[in-house]
Structure 1
Amino acid sequence: MTGIEFLASFIATGRLHGIGIGSTLAEVDRALQHRRVDVVGEGGVSLRRDYGFVEFYFNPGEEWVMSGGSIELHRLANAPEPAARWAACTGVEFAPYTAWAEVRKALSEAPAVPEFTISDQGGFLEYRAENSCVSVVVVDDEEEERGYHAGHGDVWSVSLWAPVRAS
């Protein structure tokens, strides 16, 4: 599977490899047999699981439960090794750069195309899909060229967040 296909599915559903907000640490371990680093916050109040350019965040409770995550695509332009390790583990191959136009094209073919709220983030545009709780940050500075980092029109990162619950 290509990174673009993977991202389109993730953006549309808020799930990757069957896991998402509310998944337990054990479920994540079953879904991803990948080398990682765990960073526990002071006092054990948080856990960040770092897979290279993919990170998940967990909150404690009876079990650690996923509260968010991010795919830091901008890291791949300067360091392709994490993408190669990810491909070997998951079968998903990411290129050094991911054009937002290509992801949007793949999304247009998805069964449930998300609606986006767009906001300017100063040199970046954020596309928020409220239904899937995923946001995509895209480089919007026309002078930014591809090189050691993503260029104009490329996806910088994709984030997953927990929905805010009404009280």
Structure 2
Amino acid sequence: MKNTELAETVVKQLIKAGKTVAVAESLTGGGLGAAITEIAGSSEVFLGGITTYSDASKTKLLDVPKKLITKHTAVSEEVAKEMATSARNLFKTDYAISTTGVAGPGKAYGKSAGTVWLAIASKKEVIAVELSISGDRATVRNATIESALATFSRILSL
């Protein structure tokens, strides 16, 4: 399924449930929020997004503890979960989705290109998913957006 179709499904699910979402992005650079806001009606459910591409911006804008990044790196389950939780609190939404990873082509933080973590925070829990994606930067970024939307849609359908 293409990102547009997935985003449309997510927006419809959120509208039906009367729920809201925000995003905190790193490697996707705003692409996840852009995919959601391409959909008519998204203004009812999408409250905002923040792109924190650098470690410093994750700390300054999302209050991700510097110690957490130092201990686990920015490309980790722990940081992805903290990003999602912070975005949910910042935008006061029902859900928040975060993306962090290595788009490539080379390694970063000792992690191979295509290593990605995404997290989805709700009031009850924070779920993190690790992805290993092959391909160039555009492929990794687009596949991350697709996976984030698909995972979120599955959660909303439970």
- TM-score, normalised relative to structure 1: 0.29
**Greater helix share, 1 or 2?**
2
Q: Which of these two proteins has the greater Rg computed from alpha carbons?
A: 1
More strand by share: 1
